[in-house]
Amino acid sequence: MTHEGTATAMQSDALLAVRGLVSGYGRVETLHGVDIEVKAGEITAIIGPNGSGKSTLLKALAGLIPTWKGDVTFDGRDIAGISAHRLVGNGICVVPQGRVVFPGLTVEENLKLSAFSVRDSSIVKRRLEDAYELFPMLRERRASLAGSLSGGEQVLLSIAKVPMLQPKMLLIDEPSLGLSPKMMSLVYSKITELAEGGLTVLVVEQNVKKALEIAQTLIVIVLGEVRYIGSPEALQNDVDLGTLFLEGKL
């Protein structure tokens, strides 16, 4: 196991710290004690083979499945096992794998709904403007049903929750799944733009090349365990893991 971070790094600027996280489905344990940290303002990408537990980790952090054991600290608060709904109030915005918009509602209704917790309508209006500024194509399609958008546009709509909710952190699972290279680049340029504006991002990404390109920190999960956490550069220089990646064995 390669852990670049030392004990000192562990106490530093982590916005999210996870210790010994165990979770699974029914009686089957899928995550076997995961330790990770996510630094504030960074993009951290989780990569690993199919079925290794990437989505399970995100779901456990997002309160979508129970945490069996372990500590999850976000911004100094213990958030292990709290519901997805309550996470919003803590400054975490979750975009799970798959289509996550309400297809029968318009783009604008979807955006307004994502800010359900914001009671002041003038704030919602202002944030809607921010969302449209960041995603001009959503402004053009504001009156269209979300279900009529392309897959990529739907991903952008789900990411537009960020200006609507102004969270500290975004947890997002495979935003690039099924997208054309052009749309994938657009999605990641928006995520990068948000990160440059101070958003902390934890993203699951199948596309290793893309993950290496956009992330400051990479986490490799294999069979429910963290095999690597550190910089993309160090991973590429890691003889064992780096070779496995380059040979397409991971």
Ligand X SMILES: Nc1ncnc2c1ncn2[C@@H]1O[C@H](COP(=O)(O)OP(=O)(O)OP(=O)(O)O)[C@@H](O)[C@H]1O
Span 74-103, contacts to Mg ion by CB under 5 A: none
Chain-centre distance for alpha carbon 234: 22
Q: With contacts defined by CB under 5 A, name the span among 8-16, 52-60, 114-122, 219-227 that binds Mg ion.
A: 52-60
Binder of residue 50, out of Mg ion, ligand X, none (CB less than 5 to 8 A by kind):
ligand X
Residue 218 CA to residue 210 CA, distance in Å, equals: 11
Residue 140 CA to residue 193 CA, distance in Å, equals: 21
Which residue lies nearer to ligand X by CB, 60 or 131?
A: 60
Q: Which residue has 């910089």 as its token pair?
A: 231
Q: Least CB distance from residue 247 to ligand X, whole Å? A: 18
Number of residues that bind ligand X (CB under 6 A): 11
Q: Least CB distance from residue 97 to Mg ion, whole Å? A: 5
Number of residues that bind Mg ion (CB under 5 A): 1
Q: What are the start-end ranges of the E strands in 110-224?
A: 169-173, 200-204, 217-222
In total, the chain counts a number of residues equal to 250
Binder of residue 56, out of ligand X, Mg ion, none (CB less than 5 to 8 A by kind):
ligand X
What is the SS3 assignment for 13? coil
Residue 44 CA to residue 29 CA, distance in Å, equals: 24
Which residue lies nearer to Mg ion by CB, 107 or 184?
A: 184
Q: Which residue has 């209704």 as its token pair?
A: 109
Draw the binding track, 177-216, toward ligand X (x: CB under 6 A; -: no contact): -----------------------------x----------
Structure tokens at 64: 């979508």
Q: Widest CA span of the chain, in angstroms?
A: 55
Residue 204 CA to residue 38 CA, distance in Å, equals: 13
Binder of residue 207, out of ligand X, Mg ion, none (CB less than 5 to 8 A by kind):
none
Span 16-75, contacts to ligand X by CB under 6 A: 25, 30, 48, 50-56
Among 44, 52, 55, 207, which residue interacts with Mg ion (rule: CB under 5 A)?
55
For 54, list phi and psi in degrees, rounded to 5: -65, -50
Q: Least CB distance from residue 201 to Mg ion, whole Å? A: 17
Q: Least CB distance from residue 177 to ligand X, whole Å? A: 8
Q: Least CB distance from residue 62 to ligand X, whole Å? A: 12
Residue 143 CA to residue 140 CA, distance in Å, equals: 8
Comparing CA positions, the residue from 74, 28, 67 lying closest to residue 51 is 28
Residues lying near ligand X in the complex (CB under 6 A) are found at 25, 30, 48, 50-56, 206
For Mg ion, the binding residues (CB under 5 A) are 55
